[in-house]
Amino acid sequence: MAQDTHVLDRPPEGASADWTIPQNWQAYTAEEHATWDILFERQAKLLPGRASGAFLKGLDALRLSESGIPNFEELSERLMKLTGWQVVAVPGLVPDEVFFDHMANRRFVAGNFIRRPDQLDYLQEPDVFHDVFGHVPMLADPVFADYLEAYGRGGVRAIELGALKQLGRLYWYTVEFGLVQEAEGLRIYGAGIVSSSAESRFALDDPSPNRIGFDLARVMRTEYRIDDFQQNYFVIPSFDELLRVTIETDFAPLYEEILPLPDIPVAEILPGDAVITQGTQEYARSRP
């Protein structure tokens, strides 16, 4: 089932107009199921005490500990009962408008391919492990499920207003690389962290990155790197607060305010930031 690339400019043969394809679960090889099991076992041992309570609860509720790559039909049946979401297979990265439409209708798009055994520690394109293990447990949480639906509804408007880059940063710094303050301390919930053994440690333990209190306008002005650990992590006080801010904010005047402003470089601290941890940036200085 592995392919060389999953970045496409049109639906491939056999895909629906909305880019969905059959998961073709029966075609996975024993090696591919074993790759999932290796990745799952590694993260399952690492995440207690690191991942948010909502993520760990979702992991159990969806029975993702069962061996092998999950069957999307069975997974969607469990998820629908909890929050009305379902998981649909796509051949790779889909156009923005397709992505937003699925999300606004509580359909989470997931790649149906899995990385090779020699790619366990890093894969630039999201595969089924990143998409399902990383994202889907949070969709079992009713509040976060509502947040993602609201985000999807806002996507088309962002395209119309020329603010797709700004809205994309909100997704990056919450859904992919977000931290949350819980009673026991900082916890990870972003899929890019919880699906990565190395970044699960780095995001909480390393002295290098900044950890900054979440501010919507600040987040949407902040650049990020896609090819390395983050040097800024934004910390929400709760998922309820993230949803409240998203729903209650009129994004049109916010875009009008921030679009003329310069982007904020990676790792920069601003005078008004609520700094939880000011990083040493030692890791960033060691990289090209």
Look at residue 222 and give its three-state secondary structure.
strand
User: Residue 270 and residue 215: Cα distance in Å, rounded?
Assistant: 12
DSSP helix, strand, coil percent of the chain (3-state; round to 5): 50, 10, 40
State which amino acid sits at residue 175. Answer: V
User: Residue 47 and residue 55: Cα distance in Å, rounded?
Assistant: 9
Residue 241 makes CB contacts below 8 A (sequence gap 6+) with: 214
User: Residue 142 and residue 240: Cα distance in Å, rounded?
Assistant: 10
User: Residue 212 and residue 219: Cα distance in Å, rounded?
Assistant: 10
* CA–centroid distance for 273 within its chain: 23
Binding-site sequence positions = 130, 135, 176
DSSP 51: B
Look at residue 46 and give its three-state secondary structure.
helix
Number of CB atoms found within 10 A of residue 236's CB: 21
Joined together, the tokens standing for residue 204 give: 């909480």
* Long-range Cβ contact pairs of 259-263 (< 8 A, separation 24 or more): 259/162, 259/163, 259/166, 261/221, 262/221, 263/221, 263/222, 263/223
Binding-site sequence positions for Fe cation = 130, 135, 176
